[in-house]
Amino acid sequence: MSTGALIVGAGQAGAQIAISLREIGYREPITLIGEEPYAPYQRPPLSKSVLLGDRDVLELHIKGPNYFAEKSIRVITGERVESIEVDTDGVGGRASTSSGQVIEFEKLALATGAGARRLDVEGADLDGVHCLRGIDDAVTLRDRLRADQRIVVVGGGFIGLEFAAAARSRGADVTVLQSTDRLLSRAVGPAISDFYLDAHTRRGVTVLLESDLVAIHGDPHSRAVNAVELADGTRLAADLVVVGIGAKPNVELAEHLGLECDGGIVVDAQARTSRTQIVAAGDCTVSLDPLTETRVRLESVQNAVNQGRCAAASLAGSMGIKPAVPYFWSDQYDLTLQIAGLSQGYDKVVIRGDRGSEQFAALYYRGSRLIAIDAVNCPRDYAAVLSALRSGAHIPAELAVQGALSLRDMMKAPIPAER
């Protein structure tokens, strides 16, 4: 009997590989193994509705309780793959796990994800210093969010700001430390960064830009955190410190297998690694952005799902996955940010809508070509741009600037000849 496919990592991408393999008719055994003690679950709500107490962690499962058994997908949780050996003919091999199990496979997929980057300062190991990556982190933090808490959030990216919004909504005193000169600096353009600075400030969060944390202080006996110290000597009292300074791709297994890694496991558009029989998907990968011809690591559900599908197709030898347009979202307070496309490499921005009423969007152009949108509470503009990016339709910048007109109507304009 065939030993089938082994998928290392049971997050969004790993689960998708298993789901897609069955959907496209793969009949051999599938083993999905993850180190967290939970069946595959959705991460995005962890920094949003879960913190607000609006959603129970039991509701986060990607598939219902019987799905994997019904599909003959063996799910092993709470078990870490320590090492993988691939046979010299490049087909098949075996993985060894933390409990000493050896799992044979014919096909291998890596969906090892990313881990929260840790702070490298004195006091980073004190009680009350947390990151936010998995269910356990979210539950711990949710239970500590009270109005009497003084909270310092290290990092003004999506995780930090979503956490800050949830904590502030529950009445806590919140300060966000950002090392660069604007919030969300890796993800959105400056107009959106400025907007989020104002939006958080208006709601009572203190945001300190260009601030460097140098140490975290705590009670020497209880080890409970009580303050953070900045490079300029400022000390901020803190009952809780939440660290959201990005994620580090888990590439150790890939490196041991000799796969090319460059800030993530390098994969092609079909999710194949440098050893093309081995596929990889999700937060652990980097792939080429065709527009800028640079390697990008996309940490998103959309990327995990799409690469998961591609990986399954490659493993099963089938084709036909359409190239996908990246999209992202972030919920903070009553603000929904929706992003379609990648704005990196833009040379022109068109702003639509009204910042003051918290409904506006930034459209990014490279030359005459629309490449991305960041939309705040503007679902129509987001949908129109996502649709245009998928279909290749054109929305001319000189029309888009007229905020009163619908982008969808402009899209019906004929596509101009390439310049």
Residues that bind another protein (CB under 8 A): 23, 42, 44-45, 59, 61-67, 70, 301-302, 305, 322, 327, 329, 331, 338, 379-380, 382-384, 386-387, 390, 408
C-beta of 67 vs 195, nearer to another protein: 67
Can you name the residues that pair with 81 across neighbouring β-strands? Answer: 97
Q: What minimum distance in Å lies between the beta carbon of 389 and another protein?
A: 11
| Total length of the chain | 419
Q: What minimum distance in Å lies between the beta carbon of 245 and another protein?
A: 25
C-beta of 59 vs 232, nearer to another protein: 59
Q: Which residues contact 418 (CB under 8 A, 6 or more apart)?
A: none
DSSP 139-169: HHHHHH--TT-EEEEE--SHHHHHHHHHHHH
Q: What minimum distance in Å lies between the beta carbon of 66 and another protein?
A: 6
C-beta of 1 vs 404, nearer to another protein: 404
Angle at 302 between CA 298 and CA 306, to 5 degrees: 95
Q: What minimum distance in Å lies between the beta carbon of 381 and another protein?
A: 8
C-beta of 65 vs 171, nearer to another protein: 65
How far apart are the C-alpha atoms of 213 and 232, rounded to whole Å?
9
DSSP 345-376: T--EEEEEEETTTTEEEEEEEETTEEEEEEEE
C-beta of 193 vs 300, nearer to another protein: 300
C-beta of 94 vs 390, nearer to another protein: 390
Q: What minimum distance in Å lies between the beta carbon of 277 and another protein?
A: 26
Q: Tell me which H or E stretch contains 97.
A: strand 93-97
Q: What minimum distance in Å lies between the beta carbon of 12 and another protein?
A: 9
Q: Which residues contact 142 (CB under 8 A, 6 or more apart)?
A: 50, 51, 53
Q: Amino acid identity, residue 25? A: G
C-beta of 9 vs 45, nearer to another protein: 45
Q: What minimum distance in Å lies between the beta carbon of 380 and another protein?
A: 4
How far apart are the C-alpha atoms of 253 and 419, rounded to whole Å?
46
Can you name the residues that pair with 292 across neighbouring β-strands? Answer: none
